[in-house]
Amino acid sequence: MKKYIGNEDPVSHELETIEKRKLETPEAEPPMPTVPPYDPPVGLMNQFRRKWQEAGKPKYRNPVVAAVLQVVPGLGYVYMWRMAFAALTAFLFLLAYVILGLRILQYKPEVNARLATPVNPNPEPDLWNWSLLTPESITLLWVALALLAINLGFRTYHQARLNNLNLQVKSLAEIRKARGTFIQRVLTFNYLALIIFVFGILQVAKDSDFDLGRLISKLDNIKRYVGELLNPNWNALFTEKGIMFRARETVEISIIGTLAGAVVALLISFLAARNLMGRNPITNVAYYIVRIILSIQRSIPTLFLAIVFVVSVGVGPFPAVLALTIFSAGLMTKLFSEAIEAIDWGQVEAISAAGGGPVHVVLFAVIPQVLPYYISHILYSWEVNIHSASVLGLVGAGGIGQYVQDAINTYKYADIGMALFIVIVITMAIDFTSAYIRAKIL
Residues within the interface to other proteins (CB under 8 A): 1-2, 4, 7-8, 10, 13, 344, 346-347, 349-357, 359-360, 363-365, 368-369, 371
CA distance 162 to 177: 10
Q: Determine the straight-line distance between the first and last CA of the chain, rounded to whole angstroms.
A: 43
Cβ proximity to other proteins: between 10 and 30 the closer is: 10
Cβ proximity to other proteins: between 11 and 35 the closer is: 11
Closest CA to 266 of 184, 113, 381, 401: 381
- Cβ density class 171-188: b for 16+ within 10 Å, e for less: eeeeeebeebeeeeeebb
CA distance 416 to 400: 10
Residue type, 67: A
* Phi, psi of 62, deg, nearest 5: -70, 115
Q: What's 394's DSSP letter?
A: G
Cβ proximity to other proteins: between 359 and 439 the closer is: 359
Cβ proximity to other proteins: between 18 and 119 the closer is: 18
CA distance 225 to 208: 24
For residue 13, the minimal CB distance to other proteins (Å) is: 8
For residue 196, the minimal CB distance to other proteins (Å) is: 40
Cβ proximity to other proteins: between 283 and 369 the closer is: 369
For the chain, the 3-state helix, strand and coil shares in percent, each to the nearest 5, are: 75, 0, 25
Go through the chain and tell me how many residues it has.
442
Q: Do the Cβ atoms of 10 and 18 come closer than 8 Å? A: no
CA distance 111 to 117: 10
Closest CA to 377 of 260, 252, 258: 258
Contacting residues for 215 by C-beta, under 8 A, at least 6 apart: none
For residue 340, the minimal CB distance to other proteins (Å) is: 15
For residue 366, the minimal CB distance to other proteins (Å) is: 10
For residue 364, the minimal CB distance to other proteins (Å) is: 6
Cβ proximity to other proteins: between 64 and 354 the closer is: 354
The burial of 400, by beta-carbon neighbours within 10 Å (0-12 exposed, 13-18 middle, 19 or more buried), is given as buried
Residue type, 218: K
Cβ proximity to other proteins: between 70 and 283 the closer is: 283
Cβ proximity to other proteins: between 252 and 341 the closer is: 341
For residue 377, the minimal CB distance to other proteins (Å) is: 17
Cβ proximity to other proteins: between 244 and 362 the closer is: 362
Q: For residue 276, how many other CB atoms are within 10 A of its CB?
A: 22
For residue 7, the minimal CB distance to other proteins (Å) is: 7
- CA–CA distances in Å: residue 118 to residues 107, 122, 129, 366: 19, 12, 21, 74
For residue 358, the minimal CB distance to other proteins (Å) is: 9
For residue 284, the minimal CB distance to other proteins (Å) is: 15
Cβ proximity to other proteins: between 7 and 168 the closer is: 7
Q: Do the Cβ atoms of 276 and 339 come closer than 8 Å? A: no
For residue 42, the minimal CB distance to other proteins (Å) is: 51
Cβ proximity to other proteins: between 38 and 345 the closer is: 345
CA distance 355 to 73: 74
Q: For residue 145, how many other CB atoms are within 10 A of its CB?
A: 10
For residue 343, the minimal CB distance to other proteins (Å) is: 10
